[in-house]
Structure 1
Amino acid sequence: MSDIFREVDEDLRHEQYKRLWDRFGIYVLGVAALIVVAVGGYKFWEWRQASQAAATGDSFLAALTLSEEGKHDEAIAALDAVAADGSGDYPMLAIFRNAGEKEAAGDADGAVAAYDAIAARSGVPTVIADLARIRAAVILVGSQSPEELSSRIGDLTQTGNPWRFQAREILGLAAYRANDLDAARGYFDEIVKDQEASQGVRQRAQLMLALIQSRKGPPPQPEPGEG
């Protein structure tokens, strides 16, 4: 008897499924089709993005090749195209490299203006904007006063800033050039005492301190009894 009830139950379920399919089957197929289209569309978008990134990468490398060949004007034009039409991170790389190309071509004013534009550009990560400020200051260290340079990068000398060593070195060189040996010694002392300074940066700072000492004499010693 139980077998009969089971068969009847199965027949009823089968009939219910058939009615449900007759009623809603077309919608199920429609949803399935939409899923297939959505997945296919996403895969196409992924492929398109990858293709665009590859093409932009090729254009960027071609611009670098022009630069290595000394064709700076052509490299600048190629980088401008990548900055305008490229995808991914390449436009920002192109903008930054373009400033370097202007510097290499002897256009110091153009390079500084380009670095300043990067630093002021909306949406640029702080670490990149600060690096642009450092690059501009490097160009200007031979022509601007310590005060002018400090107004540009003075805040980057603070402990914890990733560009503090470069900022201190630039300002120290500017002070040394202006014959402000006390200020120069202060910047280079900060570099030497910073345990996170690289060996190369510390060695350059020690060299500058030796030059300062040869011109000015040793730094003042604390009075007896002072810490």
Structure 2
Amino acid sequence: MSEVDDELRCDRLTRFWTRWGLVVGAAILIGLAAFGGYLYWQHRQHQAAGVDGEQLQSAYDALAQNDTKTADAKLKTLAGSNVDAYRALAEFTQADILLQRDDLKGAAARFAAIAGDNSLAQPFRDLALVRQTMAEYDTMKPQAVVARLGTLAVPGNAWFGSAGEMVAVAYLRMNKRAEAGRLFGQIASDKDVPDTLRQRAVQMAGVLGVDAVGQSEDTKTQ
């Protein structure tokens, strides 16, 4: 009986491999090829990131030497990088160069493109929106500033200081002194906000009759 069972198993295996051997083999080869391709892709990505890092540093070195022509050429190439972080940094630098040239419209357009790039991480996009608003601030209606930056001008947001200050000034332009004073007070009491910005907020809060120290206590209890 044991010999019969062995013969049956052998016969079944023979028929299985006769019928499906090529399919199984092909599937294994495809899987190995895909895995090998993935490893190669990762290797190429690391190589590309290293090259992009060197290009970005070269662009910064050129800017330090006031060689904007060389920097522009390198940044233009990096702006098409497949590595999101390097692409974003290149585009931010391009926009900053335009700001230095007093090309506010061109810089705002560049920042707007970064803010609208869904492939980038949200902090990059939020920063670009803040910088875009800075470039356009003098030509914007205060209502538009509040509408654009309202969700960023809240305690705890990474860009609360810069966004909050612009929104607070927009409130003043709208003659909403209470809202402006409260926002300046929140900025003044936020230890994560840069010192220079906090100092301005303390001064503005005081002018508007808001106790920045008292506001700090209110913020802690919220």
Into which bin does the TM-score normalised by the smaller protein fall? 0.5 to 0.7
Partner of 1:216: none
Identical pairs, percent:
28
- Is 1:157 the counterpart of 2:150 in the alignment? no
1:31-50 alignment to 2 at 5 Å? 31-50=27-46
Query: Matched residue of 2:79: which SS?
Result: helix
Partner of 2:48: 52
C-alpha separation in 1, matches of 2:210 and 2:79? 53
Q: Is the 8 A contact 1:192 1:206 kept in 2?
A: yes
C-alpha separation in 1, matches of 2:8 and 2:115? 73
Partner of 1:114: 110
Q: Is the 8 A contact 1:119 1:128 kept in 2?
A: yes
C-alpha separation in 1, matches of 2:135 and 2:205? 23
C-alpha separation in 2, matches of 1:122 and 1:46? 23
Residues 1:36 and 1:186: Cα distance change in structure 2 (over 3 Å): closer
Q: Deviations over 1:111-140 (max 9, x none)?
A: 233223433556555543332232234345
The structure having more radius of gyration, on CA atoms, is 1
CA-CA distance at 1:78 after TM superposition: 1.6
Q: Is the 8 A contact 1:119 1:133 kept in 2?
A: yes
Partner of 1:6: 2
Which runs of 5 or more residues in structure 1 are unaligned?
214-218, 222-227
Q: Is the 8 A contact 1:67 1:101 kept in 2?
A: no
Aligned length: 204
Tell me the TM-score normalised to structure 2 length. Answer: 0.68
Q: Please list every run of at least 4 consecutive aligned residues from structure 1 whose deviation after the TM superposition is greater than 6 angstroms.
A: none
Q: Is the 8 A contact 2:154 2:160 kept in 1?
A: yes
Residues 1:196 and 1:150: Cα distance change in structure 2 (over 3 Å): farther
CA-CA distance at 1:99 after TM superposition: 0.7
**RMSD (Å) for aligned C-alpha atoms:** 3.7
Q: Is the 8 A contact 1:116 1:133 kept in 2?
A: yes
Q: Is the 8 A contact 1:157 1:163 kept in 2?
A: yes
C-alpha separation in 1, matches of 2:15 and 2:60? 67
Q: Deviations over 1:112-171 (max 9, x none)?
A: 332234335565555433322322343456xx27x6355234524356654333123235
C-alpha separation in 2, matches of 1:27 and 1:174? 68
C-alpha separation in 2, matches of 1:108 and 1:204? 24
Q: Deviations over 1:164-222 (max 9, x none)?
A: 3312323556788x8x89576454234235x5753724333224445x38xxxxx399x
1:60-209 alignment to 2 at 5 Å? 60-84=56-80, 86-89=81-84, 90-121=86-117, 127-139=123-135, 144=138, 148-152=141-145, 153=148, 155=150, 156-158=152-154, 161-172=157-168, 182=177, 185=181, 187-192=183-188, 198=193, 200=195, 201-209=197-205
Residues 1:88 and 1:16: Cα distance change in structure 2 (over 3 Å): same
C-alpha separation in 2, matches of 1:150 and 1:68? 39
